[in-house]
A and B are shown apart, each in its own frame.
Chain A
Amino acid sequence: DQQVKQNSPSLSVQEGRISILNCDYTNSMFDYFLWYKKYPAEGPTFLISISSIKDKNEDGRFTVFLNKSAKHLSLHIVPSQPGDSAVYFCAGPDEKLTFGTGTRLTIIP
């Protein structure tokens, strides 16, 4: 049972444009969501989070939106930069951190 789903395995975006990464979840008990960024041969690093009492959280170029009724969250990166090319995972915590399958973002110069 995949409680956190990222249906787009890959996404290509031109440099300077907006990148939108999507994530759906099934577990209504999740009260906090996190996004991690992962480069090859490195561990994931925490990017941004959002509490379920909010519908938006912003940190610089990164904004996460949460739609609880749709059980959907999205990560917006604007403007996209070449260094943003990585795999992005969304995660929901219950007793452990449950990750989605990831979306590989490629920023085209």
Chain B
Amino acid sequence: KAGVTQTPRYLIKTRGQQVTLSCSPISGHRSVSWYQQTPGQGLQFLFEYFSETQRNKGNFPGRFSGRQFSNSRSEMNVSTLELGDSALYLCASRTGTGGYGYTFGSGTRLTVV
């Protein structure tokens, strides 16, 4: 069974640009969540999508957005990049409800210069 696939693995962008990250969940998983990991901040929840609808949202500015497609694949977009957006962005999928059964991808390392 294929795991959660995130692309690209590494990305370097310039301040002010925008970026789109992609996540393909495990087959059959309808929920996709996004997390940001920075040193000292742990894993900060960005948002969760379930059946193409945003189900939960964390405390991030509107520059961070996402969407989910009918095949459950998800994309995350960050506009007007700031240096502080440099982080490891992790995607996790699960079947549906409950706090269990999260499987994480290896992440996309975004560096903003």
Interface hit among B11-19, B66-74, B94-102: B94-102
Chain A hits for B21, CB < 8 A: none
One of A12-20, A42-50, A59-67, A71-79 at the interface: A42-50
A99-B42 CB under 8 A given contacts A43-B106, A44-B90: yes
CA distance A98 to B58 in the complex (A): 10
Q: How far is the CA of A101 from the CA of B40 in the complex (A)?
A: 6
Tell me if B42 and A41 are in contact (CB < 8 A): no
* B105 pairs with A41, CB closer than 8 A: no
Instruction: Verify if B56 is at the interface (C-beta below 8 Å from A).
Output: yes
Distance in angstroms between the alpha carbons of A94 and B41 in the assembled complex: 20
Encode contact with A along B27-44: 1 for CB under 8 Å, 0 otherwise: 000000101000011110
Q: Is the CB of A99 within 8 A of B43?
A: yes
The interface on chain B, measured as residues whose beta carbon lies within 8 A of the other chain's beta carbons, has a size of: 24
User: Is the beta-carbon distance between A41 and B107 smaller than 8 angstroms?
Assistant: yes
- With A46-B102, A93-B100 as known contacts, state yes or no: A102 contacts B42, CB within 8 Å: yes
Q: Which residue in chain B gives the minimum CB-CB distance to A93?
A: B99
Asked if A43 meets B42 with Cβ closer than 8 Å, knowing A32-B100, A93-B99, A95-B56, the reply is: no
CB pair A32 B102 closer than 8 Å: no
Interface residues of B (CB under 8 A from A): 4, 33, 35, 40-43, 45, 48, 55-56, 58, 90, 92, 98-100, 102-107, 109
Please, could you name 26 A-B residue pairs with CB atoms under 8 Å apart, sorted by A? A9-B40, A32-B100, A34-B99, A34-B100, A41-B106, A43-B90, A43-B104, A43-B105, A43-B106, A44-B43, A44-B90, A44-B104, A45-B104, A46-B103, A89-B43, A91-B99, A93-B99, A94-B99, A95-B48, A95-B55, A95-B56, A96-B33, A96-B58, A96-B99, A97-B102, A99-B43
